[in-house]
Amino acid sequence: MFPVEQLIEHYRVMLVIRHFEETLNRLFGEGLILGTAHLCAGQEACAVGAIAALEPDDLVSSNHRGHGHFIAKGGEPKRIMAELFGKATGYSGGRGASQHMADFSIGFLGMHGITGGMIPVATGAALSQKLLNTGQVVLCFFGDGATGSGAFHEAVNIGAVWGLPIVYFCENNLYAMSTPLQQAFKNTDIAGRASAYGIPGVQIDGNDYFAVRQAAEQAVEHARAGGGPTLIEAQTYRIFGHSKSDDCQYRPGDEEQLWAARDPLKLMGQRLIDGEIISEVQAEQLHREAQSMVSEAVEFARRSPAPDPQTIGNNLFSQF
Ligand SMILES: Cc1ncc(C[n+]2csc(CCOP(=O)(O)OP(=O)(O)O)c2C)c(N)n1
Ligand SMILES: [Mg+2]
């Protein structure tokens, strides 16, 4: 089994992600954050369980629903929050907002708003690792909707042909915006598509940290040993709407209830308590710590300065 201290730490990170997203949802409601965001509450076991399988210098690529991936890879909640507030202390100096943050120093290759857009980028990063013989592995997150893009097909095919050290990790939350999986694909077996590329494919319970970590460890080991990519399909569910303006009218209430009963935080918390790894009191304490970490992040973001207008021309490809 996994080391106990790691399990507690990963549960703590899952709680931070949940409080971060719940807080953001509230701040949007209060009109304190402009633009949009795609919240990952409900999908924490995917981010934390899969990244748990990596070494610190391995690489992660994300998508539009990326706050959890970033926090799990070691991104600082206060700098992510500052970016969402459009402040100079944010990861992109307040210019990128929710979908455009990266930190190469911790191996986080970034989020992106183009559906499927990071899959070829991550595949290119994996090619670099192979050519430079670094021994590092790339973990590439994307949604079920992204698997309908040409970018997915082309990248996974070339990743397979070249035997690249990459794990393709699909968070299948059953919807792409308001379109259910069954309306987007005649064949809804995403893991099964791996056979078209000649690589292993595995379908797992994406709300179970242990199942995710186990599958990811196997895939990472396979990639690091030169075996090439694996396609993991993790079945999960987002708690909030697709983005801030979506009240999920297209989702059946009983489906939401079914998944609420299988909330990844509930499952992980119960598992740790049942295994006598933590007590109920400790679980409460971890909740409070996560909550205050997020409150501090909000305070940091509020107090931070706005970007200096003099820097408006910085970091542009074309100057005016
Ligand atoms: C190329 C492209 N087409 C369409 C969109 C609009 N869009 C944003 S998110 C999204 C759905 C993505 O669904 P999925 O990959 O399942 O991820 P999820 O939002 O469910 O996490 C779409 C179609 C986009 N951003 N980029
Ligand atoms: Mg989806």
Mean pLDDT (the chain, rounded): 96
Nearest Cα residue to 73 out of 52, 87, 94, 90? 52
Pocket test of ligand 1: the residue of 62, 64, 98, 100 to mutate, having most ligand atoms within 8 Å of its CB, is 64
Which amino acid is it at 198? G
The reported pLDDT for the residue numbered 308 is: 96
| pLDDT surpassing 80 at residue 294 | yes
- Ligand 1 binding pocket includes 173 (Cβ within 6 Å): yes
What does the alpha-carbon distance between residue 156 and residue 119 come to, in Å, rounded to a whole number? Answer: 8
- Ligand 1 binding pocket includes 242 (Cβ within 6 Å): yes
Q: What is the pTM of this model?
A: 0.98
Q: How confident is the model at residue 319 (pLDDT cuts 50, 70, 90)?
A: low
Residue range 277-296: mean pLDDT, rounded: 98
The reported pLDDT for the residue numbered 315 is: 81
Architecture per CATH, 4-302: 3-Layer(aba) Sandwich (3.40)
Taking only the tens place, the pLDDT of each residue in 170-229 is 999 999 999 999 999 999 999 999 999 999 999 999 999 999 999 999 999 999 999 999
Positions of E strands within 130-286: 138-143, 166-172, 175-176, 179-180, 201-205, 230-235
The reported pLDDT for the residue numbered 32 is: 82
| pLDDT surpassing 90 at residue 318 | no
What does the alpha-carbon distance between residue 123 and residue 156 come to, in Å, rounded to a whole number? Answer: 8
At residue 62, what are phi and psi to the nearest 5 degrees? -125, -170
The reported pLDDT for the residue numbered 320 is: 59
The residue whose CA is least distant from atom 5 of ligand 1 is 115
Distance from the CA of 144 to the center of ligand 2, in angstroms?
Answer: 5
Pocket test of ligand 1: the residue of 177, 236, 237, 244 to mutate, having most ligand atoms within 8 Å of its CB, is 177
Residue range 88-112: mean pLDDT, rounded: 96
141: β partners? 169
Ligand 1 atom nearest residue 40's Cα? 21
Ligand 1 atom nearest residue 242's Cα? 19
The reported pLDDT for the residue numbered 124 is: 98
Cα–Cα–Cα angle for 227, 229, 235, rounded to 5 degrees: 135
Cα–Cα–Cα angle for 118, 70, 279, rounded to 5 degrees: 140
Domain boundaries, the chain: 4-302
Q: How confident is the model at residue 34 (pLDDT cuts 50, 70, 90)?
A: confident
* Helix H or strand E encompassing 108: strand 108-110
Residue 137 has which token pair?
Answer: 């592995």
